[in-house]
Structure 1
Amino acid sequence: MKRSHSALLATSLLLVATSASAHPGHDAHGLMAGLTHPFTGLDHLLAMLAIGIWSARQSRALRLGTPLLMVIGMLAGAGIALLSGGQALHALIAEQGILLSVLVSGALVALLLRLPTLAGAVMVAGFMAFHGFAHALEMPAAGSAMGYMAGFVVATLALALLGRAVGQRLMSVPTIASRLVGGAVMASAVMMAV
């Protein structure tokens, strides 16, 4: 039991760690850029992990479908960004949506909230559309666009599954652990906003 508390503490500390910029420079191209992007933006990392954690307490359909819903939302957002030409207003809206996704997903984890399957599915896909929009805008000029998108799809699936595994583990310990993790995500969103 002591080991699980140490792991939860380490996870919580990781979640509250901040960086000077949520999107540091990306030197990789194509597939590697897509694979690394979700891991190097604190906002992307926190939202995807928190949504995965939250999904562990949802209906079986939503729990199993969340990784796919995240990918669908990401690809839809990327498509919108590419079709709209990434206008500045749209980019600003996407950034606000990303911040909201981090805050709300943290709150869902902290409050142990269950949503109806359809409402949860729409929320997950909608939040991830903001992330996909930002991913497309930050796509390196050099390299393969298809490789980049394939990379961020794989990274998104990995983060969703990792989050769900953490969420399942959190279900076997006192609920205060989930509340602390969710609170840490929310606190990170507030720090990113200021």
Structure 2
Amino acid sequence: MRTSRSALFALMASVGALPLAALAHTGVDSGAHHGALAGLLHPLTGADHLAAMVAVGLWSALAARRAWPDLLWAPLGFAAMLLGGAALGLAGVDVPAVEPMIAASLLVIGLLVVTRLRVPALAAAAIVGVFAVFHGVAHGQELTGNAQALPTLAGMLCATVLLHATGIAAGWVLRHAHAWLPRAAGAAVALLGLSLLAQRI
């Protein structure tokens, strides 16, 4: 019961924080991000990044047939491709439609949480990985010219893993009890994505 309550609190806190967080955006950060601590905090202050990362963990837990290794494929795919996208952004590679694709990621991943869609492990990693590239590009572009880009990215990656873990923990505990709550969270993420998508296309 205590674990269930902790997961409920973590999930409600993550979803409740969304309206308070700023949206991530592409472009140079004008020196706003310096070092690992700033990188660690950055995904926590961007509603679109925060929602996507928690939702990836939720979907992994809700759709997993077993705890190991099913829980890890989508989060690992997201984290790996996030780094790849960040490298593209730092290198100045022109990736089109970054903002619309970030919004689309919220819509798609939110719907995956609502439906608990089960797909093969590599397909799960690929689905979220494609969207993670665009999240990474946004981060990389923000860090262009930043002398502390690498430690900042390391902090962002740590925050990503922690947000995935929050989603996984909440989803695993709530997959049988209070099943409506993760579905409601997924619907909120999808609606946020739909709203952002309407603004960005």
The TM-score, its normalising length taken from structure 1, stands at 0.83
Unaligned runs of 5+ in 2: none
What letter corresponds to residue 51 of structure 1 in structure 2?
A: V
CA distance in 2, matches of 1:174, 1:71: 28
2:185 equivalent to 1:171? no
Bigger CA drift: 123-132 or 43-52? 123-132
> In structure 2, do the counterparts of structure 1 residues 102 and 15 end up closer, same or farther at CA, with 3 Å as the change threshold?
farther
The one of 45, 48, 70 aligned to 1:43: 48
> In structure 2, do the counterparts of structure 1 residues 75 and 12 end up closer, same or farther at CA, with 3 Å as the change threshold?
closer
Query: 1:34 touches 1:150 (CA, 8 Å); kept in 2?
Result: yes
CA distance in 2, matches of 1:44, 1:93: 16
Query: 1:38 touches 1:155 (CA, 8 Å); kept in 2?
Result: yes
The CA RMSD over aligned residues, in Å, is 2.7
> What pairs with 1:97-112 in structure 2 (closer than 5 Å)?
97-112=101-116
CA distance in 2, matches of 1:7, 1:38: 20
CA distance in 2, matches of 1:41, 1:47: 10
Q: In structure 1, what is the equivalent of residue 74 of structure 2? A: 66
Offset at 1:148? 1.2
The TM-score, its normalising length taken from structure 2, stands at 0.81
CA distance in 2, matches of 1:190, 1:53: 19
CA distance in 2, matches of 1:156, 1:148: 12
> In structure 2, do the counterparts of structure 1 residues 8 and 71 end up closer, same or farther at CA, with 3 Å as the change threshold?
closer
SS in 2 for 1:17: helix
Unaligned runs of 5+ in 1: none
2:25 equivalent to 1:14? no
The one of 32, 41, 44 aligned to 1:27: 32
> What pairs with 1:148-167 in structure 2 (closer than 5 Å)?
148-167=152-171
* Deviations, residues 96-133 of structure 1 (Å, cap 9, x unaligned): 21111111110011112111112111112212111111
> What pairs with 1:118-133 in structure 2 (closer than 5 Å)?
118-133=122-137
